[in-house]
Amino acid sequence: MGCPQVCSGATLQCSFGVAPTVLNVLPVNRTLTGGMPAANIMDHIPLVNIPTFGMCQSLANPTVAAATAAALGALTPMPCIPATATPWIPGGAPTVLLGSMPALDSNSTLMCTWGGVIKIQMPGQVQMQIP
């Protein structure tokens, strides 16, 4: 059984974020999976595809570093604004193309400029094996 295809509505979590968020996939590739727009590795645009994770706890984030310094070294989370400048890293062999780019599967990861690793917790659809 293969890895599930990721679609709009997938649940994401950042290693430095305090709350999960939901992937937003625009229907530009005109392909549905599980009744929702299917994602490819280019669906990484901050605040378009990747909403905020609530608060950021990464000291590499300048706003967190400044707030922490102002609090005399006590970690002070600040509002998350994802900084995802590069595409998703495919989790397996990218054998399925969607809009001429590899389709996003549930093993893919996305790096944030501030050091966070964004992973897919739930792909937005599931595959069932029928006995």
pLDDT of 1 reads 47
Count the helices and strands in the chain (H runs, E runs).
Answer: 1, 10
Whether 77 is covered by a domain: the verdict is yes
- Nearest Cα residue to 115 out of 59, 65, 55: 59
Give how many domains the chain has, as a whole number: 1
What average pLDDT score do residues 92-103 get? 82
Render pLDDT for 5-51 as a digit per residue (tens, 0 to 9). Answer: 899 999 999 999 999 999 999 988 888 877 889 999 999 999 999 99
Res 48: pLDDT: 97
Does the pLDDT of residue 121 top 50, yes or no? yes
Whether 15 maps to a domain, the answer reads: yes
Residue 2 covered by a domain? no
Residue whose pair of structure tokens reads 């599930």 in the numeric block: 4
Question: Considering the domain boundaries, does residue 72 fall inside one?
Answer: yes
Structural domain harbouring 79: 7-125
Q: Please say whether the beta carbons of 110 and 4 come within 8 A.
A: no
